[in-house]
Amino acid sequence: MISIRTLTALCLSIALATPVAAQERRLPSSLGEVKLSYAPIVQHAQPAVVNVYAAKVVQNRNPLLEDPIFRRFFGGGGPQPEQIQRSLGSGVMVDPSGLVVTNNHVIDGADQVKVALADKREFEAEIVLKDSRTDLAVLRLKDTKEKFATLELSNSDDLLVGDLVLAMGNPFGVGQTVTHGIVSALARTQVGITDYQFFVQTDAAINPGNSGGALVDMTGKLVGINTAIFSRSGGSQGIGFAIPANMVRVVIASAKGGGKAVKRPWLGARLQAVTPEIAETLGLKRPSGALVASVTKGSPSEKAGLKLSDLIVAVDGFPIDDPNAFDYRFATRPLGGTALIDAQRAGKPVKLTIALETAPDTGRDEIVLTARSPFQGAKIANISPAIADEMRLDPSVEGVVVTELADDATAANVGFQKGDIIVAVNNKRIGKTSDLDRITNESARLWRITLVRGGQQINVTLGG
């Protein structure tokens, strides 16, 4: 479960309704209308909402066994006892062939995944695609040829604050549960859960175990995947967040296309938020938009004519309040086409057409460092445009980036983090992965390391 403050991450499932030609928004005109039931929607949705069970095997590590003196006098070699960690979440069937979408945090690191249908049947499932940037994952049921009930995805841009929604999932493992509420807010961007922060907020009650479930509108369509709640107690307090269906659609399309990673448009520019001080300097009535902080040479943004200090105010007609809103709007544009960017340059309006293409990923040269050194167990890569875009790195920084760390790796134990850019080791510049690989194979009593983390340069010295 993910948490924000005491923000407890969980996803909820939502149920589908019997499709209606058009949704009419109006006040009830009779007592009979007030007594209308959600039952038809729930009955339609239940077959497509599933429970997701994930398990992984971990070793129980005795901290005393890490001490060489303890091992010398008391032994302690040999295999350590194993323990199975289990997690429970929800999911939604989105393709009749057995494709299920859920939260990445529900199945992350799992050795085994099972999906249980509403009719109590269970299937082994394989992980087709994981996307930590959106906290979404796609599963496929194994060894089955039948056609399953699914939920159709809506256009989440049609949602309005006040619209009724249903949440469906398996809270606390008690079984499939339905709750109702309204859309409390749209385009929440200051939540801090994922890279793409543009959430649908709802007051429908959701709790641990709902993660990965569906948020459904009154036309019976999936409007979002419930992902987190804001809570001081760990239970529902009426503030839940769902990933909009339009972002879910992008991840599903990548999975259906056979990709192991989600393909998204590449802007090739770094954006920053507009502070009140910047807004005053620019002559804006309020802080809004996304300010261009840098443009990558040869990128789609440079080719389109985007300039440093341009203020992006809209994408394909959708207003942009901050960089998070831009990221969502741009990432949900279809590859192969173009996006129309409305910007302000020196107070004058500018329109730019940017090609929607993926970032080049040549020369990644990803390797795992195995030699005895502080870097042992770290997976590193050259900083290609795709890596820089994926990990939110400054592409102008020279070095190699840590892309993955095993929990028990030496590199993790000494404090390295995913996203660290290794710039120099023992006064030698690191230009590519082979440089760091060669240096780690040289014995050293001290390791003087220069790295960049979160845009800040850090110098550390570690014993050999």
- The reply to whether 435 belongs to the active site is no
Beta bridge mates, 87: 54
CB 147 within 8 A of CB 117: no
Ligand-binding annotation for 210, yes or no, is: yes
3-state DSSP of 356-425: CCCCCCCCCCCEECCCCCCCCCEEEEECCHHHHHHHCCCCCCCCEEEEEECCCCHHHHHCCCCCCEEEEE
List 135, 217, 322, 435, catalytic entry: 135
Residue with tokens 């019976």: 220
The phi-psi region of residue 342 (left if phi > 0; otherwise alpha if psi is between -120 and 50; otherwise beta) is beta
Q: Report which DSSP code applies to 433.
A: H
CB 406 within 8 A of CB 373: no
Distance of CA 202 to the CA centre of its chain: 19
Is 259 strand, coil or helix? Answer: coil
Residue with tokens 């091992």: 71
List 90, 156, 184, 211, catalytic entry: 211
Residues sharing a CB contact under 8 Å with residue 178, sequence separation 6 or more, in sequence order: 15, 38, 42, 166, 167, 168
Ligand-binding annotation for 105, yes or no, is: yes
Ligand-binding annotation for 108, yes or no, is: no
List 13, 44, 105, 156, catalytic entry: 105
Ligand-binding annotation for 289, yes or no, is: no
Number of CB atoms found within 10 A of residue 3's CB: 15
- The reply to whether 105 belongs to the active site is yes
The Cα diameter of the chain in Å comes to 83
Give the integer Cα–Cα distance in Å for 311 and 292: 6
Ligand-binding annotation for 104, yes or no, is: no
- The reply to whether 310 belongs to the active site is no
Beta bridge mates, 316: none
Kindly write down the DSSP assignment for every residue of 19-67, as one continuous string.
--S--------SHHHHT--SHHHHHHHGGGEEEEEEEEEEE---GGGG-
Residue numbering of the annotated binding site: 105, 135, 209-211
Residue numbering of the annotated binding site for substrate: 105, 135, 209-211
Catalytic residue positions, numbered? 105, 135, 211
